[in-house]
């Protein structure tokens, strides 16, 4: 009995490699010239895709979803053209910036305080005696 291992083509290997990586934008590495290019390209994109017409949409849920979708599309397209990026393995976890993690404990404590002022406790004149 003979066993033959399937031969993988270069194209299949390349497609598999693309699936296992993700693009990470390096906004922190942008300088003034990069921000100017971002601004200039965003103005061009705004005019080219006639996004001015979105300003006159009525205020409702559907139009809000339309706006968010168009904003997301614009930001991704503009970032792909102007923001420096690198590729990382899809398994790599990026560490959170210190500016986000340093205030996490304070936010947790604040959330505990805010939960004490929930409407159902105030309406029933209840006060939780649990320590914060």
For residue 24, give the DSSP letter.
E
**pLDDT of 52 higher than 80:** yes
3-state SS, residue 131? coil
Give the chain's radius of gyration (CA, Å).
Answer: 25
pLDDT the model gives residue 79: 94
φ and ψ at 121, to 5 degrees? -75, -40
User: Which residues are CB-neighbours of 51 under 8 A, at least 6 positions away?
Assistant: 45, 70, 74
pLDDT the model gives residue 3: 63
User: Which residues are CB-neighbours of 114 under 8 A, at least 6 positions away?
Assistant: none
Least-confidence region, from 26-40, 65-79, 91-105, 115-129? 115-129
d(CA 98, CA 57): 39
Least-confidence region, from 54-63, 66-75, 93-102? 93-102
pLDDT the model gives residue 13: 79
**Apex CA 97: angle with CA 34 and CA 111, to 5°?**
125
pLDDT the model gives residue 47: 94
Q: Tokens for 41, please give them.
A: 């390209």
């Amino acid at each position: 009995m003979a066993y033959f291992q399937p031969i993988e083509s270069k194209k299949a290997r390349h497609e598999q490699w693309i699936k296992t990586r993700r693009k990470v934008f390096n906004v922190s590495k942008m300088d003034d010239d990069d921000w100017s290019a971002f601004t200039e390209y965003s103005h061009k994109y705004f005019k080219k895709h006639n996004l001015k017409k979105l300003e006159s949409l009525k205020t409702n849920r559907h139009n809000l979803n339309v706006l968010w979708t168009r904003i997301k599309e614009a930001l991704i397209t503009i970032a792909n053209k102007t923001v420096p990026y690198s590729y990382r393995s899809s398994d790599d976890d990026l560490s959170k910036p210190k500016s986000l993690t340093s205030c996490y404990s304070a936010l947790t404590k604040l959330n505990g305080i805010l939960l004490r002022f929930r409407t159902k406790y105030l309406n029933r004149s209840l006060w939780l005696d649990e320590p914060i």
